[in-house]
Structures are given as structure tokens and as C-alpha cells.
Amino acid sequence: MNQYIDIAVNLVGSALESNAEQVIADAVAVGVSPLILIGSELDESARCIAICQQYPTQLYTTAGVHPHHASSWQSDSADRLREMCQGKVVVAVGECGLDFNRNYSTPAEQRRAFAEQLALAVELQRPVLMHERDAHLEFMAILSEFRAELPAALLHCFTGDIAQAEAYLALDLHLGVTGWVCDERRGQALAEAVTVIPDDRLLLETDSPYLLPRNLKPKPKSSKNEPKYLPHIAHYVAHLRGQPVDVLAAHCYANSLKFFGLE
């Protein structure tokens, strides 16, 4: 059985949290372990840390402020986040970045929160897990100011095209691919882009409980995505890349261990 690490699971505050133990066990049963939880704001990040401590070696987490919550970034936020990042279960700063699709926080608030989290990742020499939607050029501009000093940087839930993939790869980013690639309506550009991602820059994720793979059969009655579906995504990505799934899985597992310092 191939081994996988799901590098983006929205467990805390989602429909999965009440059934966390079963979600973890179902993932382990198909070779998906550990899981990397996502902290999207500081209070949630603290809750992620707490649940990780209940499942040592099975759960790790990021800690940060998503652009949707950038308006919550205050003068003391960097200090709070710095303290959280001292914990062994915290493996990356984030999820941080820019999202100009809905602007739940203003662009100015997003720029500030993103830049200050990148600066903290540089200070602490921690990897950073990032989000970008409808903000490609500005995201690139801000990230470029810090990239040379960051130890590792990941754009998770990448849904762009070949040109965007190549631009991010030129900044030496890792790219996280979700079940979006399995959607024949919306995922065609990504299906083409996954063919140009080098073996050592590709990571796999579900972003569960969101983005249930459209081509998954049978579909769960709940319509919730879960880490246990990561092998399905891996098989489809391997097909698109013309690789044996065993080879793809081995690369992605090794990449995940190295990126998050879990070796």
C-alpha cells in the first residue's frame, strides 16, 4: 500500500471535527497519515494545536491567518503567532496569502497580514503554506520580496494554468494539488498544468471537507471530502502525468516529509 500525507485538512471548525477520530482512522486504513491541519486564524490555530496534541504523530498543523480573516490581524498578532510556532506540532506558518475573489478582508488588510506572516516565517526559518485566488501578480510581487530568505514555500490548492505554474516554479515553490483536478468542467487548466510540475515540487492534498473529487464513485451521501480519498486524487494525477501511481506517491510522500520537516 502506498503512503501519503494529506497536506491540507480543514478539520477544526468544519463538518469533520465532530467525527475526527473516525476521519483519522479511515485515512490511516488507506495509507494516508499523518494529516496536516490548516489554521486559518489565530484562535482556530490554537484549537488545531490542541487536537494535534491528542493525536501525536498522526496530526500536525499550520498556524496563521487566511486572507479571508486578514481584518483580524492586529498589532499583537505576530507575537501570538510567534509563540504558537514554537510548538512541535506546528510545521508551517499559514495559511496566509491573498484572495481578491470575494475580499472578505480589504486588499490592504490582506497585504499587511501576508507580508507580516512572511516576515515571521523568515525570522523563524519556518516553511510557509500559502493561498492565492484572483491575485496572482500581486501575490508574486509580495512573495518575491521574501522568497530568497524563506526556507521553503508552498502554494496549496493550486488551481492555475501552465503559465501560472511555471511562474510559481520559477520562485522555487512547491505546489499542492487537490481534487479540483478531477473536475472535467473547471479543472482542465490544472489537468494540463500538473504535467509540468517537477517530481520534487508536487504535493497532494484533499482540502477536505471541501473539493470532493467530481469523478469519485460512488460519491459519499454526505458530499463531504475526506483524507481517505487522497489515493483517488493520486491515481488521477498519476494518469495525467503518465506516471505509475507508485512512483508518484513515493515522490509526493518524500516531498511532504522534507517540506514539513517530518523526516
Number of domains in the chain: 1
Rounded distance between C-alpha atoms, residue 204 and residue 249, angstroms? 9
CA distances from 184 to 94, 125, 188, 213, 214 (A): 30, 39, 6, 10, 8
pLDDT value at 169 more than 90? yes
What pLDDT score does 112 carry?
97
Please state the pTM of the whole predicted model.
0.96
131, 97 contact by CB (below 8 A): yes
pLDDT reported for residue 221:
85
* Predicted local distance difference test score (pLDDT) of residue 57: 94
Q: Which range among 70-79, 124-133, 215-224 shows the weakest confidence by mean pLDDT?
A: 215-224
Q: Average pLDDT for residues 148-161, to the nearest whole number?
A: 97
Domain range for 114 is 4-259
pLDDT digits (tens, 9 = 90+) for 32-49: 999 999 999 999 999 999
Q: What is the CATH number of the domain that holds 141?
A: 3.20.20.140
pLDDT at 193: 98
184 pLDDT band (50/70/90 cuts)? confident
pLDDT at 209: 97
What are the residues whose beta carbons fall under 8 Å from the beta carbon of 143, sequence distance 6 or more? 118, 130, 153, 171
Q: Radius of gyration over alpha carbons of the chain, in Å?
A: 17
User: How would residue 182 be classed by pLDDT, with cut points 50, 70 and 90?
Assistant: very high
237 and 181 Cβ atoms separated by less than 8 Å: yes
Comparing C-alpha atoms, which of 10, 39, 15, 64 is closest to residue 221? 15
C-beta separation of 160 from 189 below 8 A: yes
Q: Is 112 exposed, middle or buried (0-12, 13-18, 19+ CB in 10 A)?
A: middle
Distance CA 236, CA 183 (A): 11
Report pLDDT for 32.
Answer: 98
Retrieve residue 113's grid coordinates: 497580514
Question: Which residue type is seen at 192?
Answer: E
